[in-house]
Amino acid sequence: MTGTENEEMKKAQTAAEQGTSDAERTARQRKRSIAIAVSLALLAVLFYVATLVKMTGGIAEKAGS
């Protein structure tokens, strides 16, 4: 194999590895984004439900007094 062919093979290999690494990075970013979105949604639900619980507790106390 000539030196030029060797260099071309190495470039193709690096490009392929780069592509794979880019794809992996994109997949990891996607997973992180999904995890953040789910966490924020859970946080919103948590606040909503906790507010209901605290408001219900307040109304029950007022009704009792």
To other proteins, the closest distance from the beta carbon of 33 in angstroms equals 10
Which residues in the 2-61 window bind other proteins by CB under 8 A?
Answer: 24-25, 28-29, 31-32, 35, 43, 46-47, 49-50, 53-54, 57
Amino acid at 64: G
Q: Cα(3)–Cα(10) distance, rounded to whole angstroms?
A: 11
| 3-state helix, strand and coil shares in percent for the chain, rounded to the nearest 5 | 95, 0, 5
Under the rule (CB under 8 A), what is the footprint of other proteins?
24-25, 28-29, 31-32, 35, 43, 46-47, 49-50, 53-54, 57
